[in-house]
Amino acid sequence: MKILFVQLRFESNTAVMILSSVLNCKGFETDVMIIEGEPDYIYKIKEEIKPDIVAFPCTTVDMKKLVAINKNLKESYSFFSVFGGAHPTFFPELIEEEPSIDAICIGEGEHAIIELAERLQTGADCNNISNLHVRGKNGGISKNQLIPLIEDLDSLPFMNRHIYDKYYNNPYMLENVPIRFLSSRGCPYKCTYCFNHKFYQLYGIKGNRVRKRSVDSLLKEINEVRKDFNIPMVSFVDDIFCISRAWVRQFAIKYRSEVNLPYSINTRPNTITEEIAGLLAMSKCYYVTFSIETGDDYLRNKLLKRNMSEDEIIRAAHLLHQHDIPFATGNMLGIPGETFATLRKTLEVNRRCAPHYAWASLFQPFPKLELTNYAIEHGFFNGDFRNIGNDQFTDSALQFKKKKEIVRFHKFFAFLVKYPYLYPLARLIITLPFDPVYNWVFKRYKYRLNKPVIEASKETIEKQYKEPLFTALIYLCKDLFDELAPKKV
């Protein structure tokens, strides 16, 4: 019995690595296919890999492409298809709308995928597997109950990073996949643009919860991966790393003595105290990411329910600067009610924080989000989820005044945080319909600023953070000439 995971892009997927690991522990063979690197994926899957189950980890932005891939495969090859991840979990109607899908997984998938593989292997009925909605032979759909969440994360095997071995000739994969680790699942907050609180509602749990691994288990995994891949750094990809101060204290001391590699984290501004910042610096944290989302107090706290003041955000940035830890901010533009006045506030808060990089996305109205419902009720979105694009950076599915200009403004956001005196010029430029150029500038500038983060070179990060506008423009022009130059055949 072979299970193939299919994903669109060259990127690490923690769900693929964890599910692969639990399947391997039960004796099942696993593989992964990255469509971006396989132009003739149908032939390769049908003639070479020959899987019994094809599993599609599915977000809303990837859903349309993955469904099309599944349909194409079904036309020439017989297999059992299962879609899991955020989109099927919060939009289970997917299996009713797409007859080519055999099952969807709601919530956590570790136990479900093992039981599915075992039953298919023995020819047993698959209709009553917990966490799965399964299409029967007569076309009917069995909708099964959720089993409780996995409480003891230490009971899970370590992620199978070797499933991506055949793709490590891609530099991005080799630089990113082995270094990423999860120390927890969940988030205690209830932001209206996030699925976390809806996820717990599915399980009948009041309030949000965080399940944390033990420090010893986490460090053991890091050191095992270190032997296999000789990793130069560690990246913790938890939603919020610094939830428990007691856990961070224990982690910082043990990490410094047992691992002592540079590492990066995601967290919230209100979790960064003087003590936490000191512990992060002491234990070799070289990069922090935290989200601002919007600088407008009403939008941030009433609409998005972030429940944090501007002073808390600025204080977190100050503490990180004080402890010499570079950081990035996260921002979400084009939310319902966005105007150029609110964008100016977001720019100003970011400018006061002075991050190494001001990351920004465009809000997308994913199904079942509280903010999506608000957008529908107030006329910002018509409720047609087919209008959602394939990413969170190119366009917006909402309707609001000066939409085109705000979408274009997004492409210059990070640049304007760094060089705020160019704001009047940017306002003029975005009235012009040169969208391919704006998209290109956004991608190149984003890549150039983030590359040092991958390299974990603090000196390079600081150098680029302080570079003058002229130098930044020179680099952008060089990138453009490289792009247009004739390529060797």
pLDDT band at 466 (very low <50, low <70, confident <90, very high): low
Q: Convert the pLDDT of each residue in 416-453 to its tens digit.
A: 998 899 999 999 999 999 998 888 878 766 655 555 45
pLDDT (0 to 100) of residue 488 = 42
**CA separation for the pair 241, 326 (Å, rounded):** 16
- Helix (H), strand (E) at residue 286: strand 285-293
Integer angstrom CA distances of residue 414 from 289, 310, 311, 448: 14, 19, 21, 12
Contact 118, 53 (CB under 8 A): no
pLDDT in tens, 356-375: 999 999 999 988 899 999 99
Domain 2-143, CATH: 3.40.50.2300
Beta-sheet strand order (sheet of 234-236) = 180-181, 234-236, 263-267, 285-293, 327-333, 357-362
User: What is the full DSSP assignment across 227-251?
Assistant: HHH--S-EEE--S-S-S-HHHHHHH
Q: Which two tokens stand for residue 410?
A: 């997004």
Question: Which segments of 291-402 does DSSP mark as H helices, in order?
Answer: 297-298, 310-322, 340-353, 370-377
pLDDT digits over 6-44, tens only? 999 999 899 999 999 999 999 999 999 999 988 899 999
Percentage of residues of the chain with pLDDT beyond 70 = 90
pLDDT tens-place string over residues 100-154: 999 999 999 999 999 999 999 999 999 999 999 999 988 899 999 999 999 999 9
Among 158-167, 204-213, 272-281, the range scoring the smallest mean pLDDT is 204-213
β-pairing, 141-143 vs 132-135, is antiparallel
Nearest 5°: phi and psi at 392? -110, 25
Residue-wise pLDDT for 47-89, tens only, equals 999 999 999 999 988 999 999 999 999 998 999 999 999 999 9
Question: Rounded to the nearest 5°, which phi and psi values hold at 205?
Answer: -100, 125
- Find the helix or strand (DSSP H, E) in which 252 lies: helix 245-258
State how far the Cα of 292 lies from the Cα of 304, in Å rounded to an integer. Answer: 11
pLDDT of 157 strictly over 90? yes
CATH fold for the domain made of 171-478: pyruvate-formate lyase- activating enzyme (3.80.30)
CA 340 to chain centre: 27
CATH 3.40.50.2300 domain extents, the chain: 2-143
Per DSSP, 207 falls in state: S
- List the structure tokens of 306: 């972030």
DSSP 8-state secondary structure symbol assigned to residue 174: H
Per-residue pLDDT tens digits for 170-183: 888 988 899 999 99
CATH 3.80.30.20 domain extents, the chain: 171-478
- Mean pLDDT of all residues in the chain? 90
Rounded distance between C-alpha atoms, residue 95 and residue 103, angstroms: 7
